[in-house]
Amino acid sequence: MARAIVLIFLLLFFSCQNIADVEPENRNTLIHFYGGLGNFEGKGIEITNDGYLIIGDSLGSNTGIARRIVVIKTDFQGNPVWRKSFPDGSAGGLKVINDGIIVIGDKIEIDPNAEQLIDQVKRMLWIIKLDNNGGMVNSRTFGTFSALASERKDIRGFAITESGTGSIYSSGTIRLPGTRAQAFVAEHNSLTLDTVWSKRYDLDSRDYVNGKSVHVTQQNDIIWATSATLDQANVSRSYLSIPVLNPNSTFDNNQVFGREEETSLSYYGSDIQPSPNGFGVIGTYKSLTGTNANIYFLQTDPLGNILPGSDHYYDGASETLKIDAASKGNSVSDDEGSALIATTDGGFLIGGSSTTTTNKGNGGKDILLMKIDFLGNIIWNKIFGGSGDEYVSAIRNTADGGYVLCGTLDLAGQKQMLIMKIDKNGNLNN
């Protein structure tokens, strides 16, 4: 049954790609789908010395809430080597370290009888250490599942990384009774996963929603991207924040972007990735009511300072894709910036989803990839998709100069995780 579902997904996806043979085994580019009974969402991908590691969620059939973390190891042709799942969890990300794999996410408990909607899903930060064959080495949760709202301590795990000295850092958010979601950072023992230290930060009396990555800078500081959100009635205001933290101390820096435009636009940060010149950041900006969404990209120096003039804007409905700042609020489409990676020529490959228009796209949401130079100019762009909705969640460089990405295909409510390997020019072919 699962094999038949995957074949249907392949045929529908490739129906708009003009590729005659869907078998990927002998290609230097490929696409694979992973799932089974139920719905699955791809959240991240990392490259090992012998293949790929994919992390995602298995969703509850009725609620759409993640109920199981799924980790899949494949070879370089995308063929599964092993698959592990961890019940009652939601995936954040994973990291390959010297002696195994670190997985971060949320441990979840559902309470459908809770009076407040916010209390129905209880979360604890969850870190799992696996060996290279997927065997569990250790598992730790942080937080409390109290039945009393006054005793709740919800901690969410968004991203994890390892420093050059072997320190393990996690980034997430913490919500204590009567407070908003605050930024949360911790260091963990690489063997036991126990907390070495943890800090929480209430930067602007807002809810903080962290991006999917955290990194260690050249100065051994911790940097990540987060959205500082404030929801009031039917209006959502948000700006991008880029905290730079000295471990177990205070912020060395905290650059913000978009705060001065909060009367008209909201900015959300999705991913941050290192480059030879600092870091690149991708996200989505939209109206205060959540419409007319488009993609933005900017760069920082190695200290996390936003480079003046490095912000660029992209509209999937525009003929040229790249638009000037003066017209960035005039979009009629809904696009989302969700992933990026620095490229070897000093530019970036940025990815997101673009809404099909009468002139572009294959139906619903399609994956939009744009190869840009250091100045944000588009070198090439590709649209991948079929009649369903396709989303990209992570992009990585491959050894042959190409790229591999992880994402989700949603066809009439049936979701599958996907990986796609493309060449250096964005082609998906032999």
Q: Note the pLDDT of residue 26.
A: 47
Q: Is residue 273 part of a domain?
A: yes
| pLDDT value, residue 358 | 58
Residue 17: the pLDDT is 46
Q: Report yes or no on 223 lying in a domain.
A: yes
Containing structural domain, residue 220: 211-397
Whether residue 320 lies inside any domain: the answer is yes
3 state SS of 196: strand
Our count of domains for the chain comes to: 1
β-pairing, 182-188 vs 195-201, is antiparallel
Q: Is 410 within a domain?
A: no
Place of tokens 């295909």: 409
Instruction: Let me know if residue 112 belongs to a domain.
Output: no
> How far apart are the C-alpha atoms of 34 and 154, rounded to whole Å?
30
What is the value of pTM for the model shown? 0.91
Report how far residue 229's alpha carbon sits from residue 248's, in angstroms, rounded to the nearest whole number: 25
- β-bridge partners, 428: none
Query: Is residue 244 included in any domain, yes or no?
Result: yes
Assess if residue 160 is contained within a domain. no
DSSP class of residue 129 equals: E
Residue 14: the pLDDT is: 47
Residue 64: the pLDDT is: 64
pLDDT at 168: 96
- Listed in sequence order, the residues at least 6 apart from 111 whose beta carbon sits closer than 8 Å to its beta carbon are 119, 120, 121, 122, 147
Q: How far apart are CA 249 and CA 239, in angstroms?
A: 24
Furthest CA-CA distance within the chain: 60
Question: 422-427: long-range contacts (C-beta < 8 A, 24 or more apart)?
Answer: 422/29, 422/369, 422/382, 423/28, 423/29, 424/400, 425/380, 426/369, 426/371, 426/380, 426/381, 426/382, 427/29, 427/382
pLDDT, one tens digit for every residue, the chain (430 residues): 444 444 444 544 544 443 333 444 446 899 999 998 889 999 999 999 999 999 999 987 656 677 899 999 999 999 999 999 999 999 999 999 999 999 999 999 887 776 666 667 889 999 999 999 999 999 999 988 877 767 778 899 999 999 988 999 999 999 888 788 999 999 999 999 999 999 999 877 899 999 999 999 999 999 999 999 998 888 999 999 999 999 999 889 999 999 999 889 999 999 999 999 999 999 999 999 988 899 999 999 999 999 999 999 999 888 889 999 888 878 777 899 999 999 999 999 999 999 876 566 666 899 999 999 999 999 999 999 888 899 999 999 999 999 999 999 999 889 999 999 999 999 998 5
User: Is 342 a member of any domain?
Assistant: yes
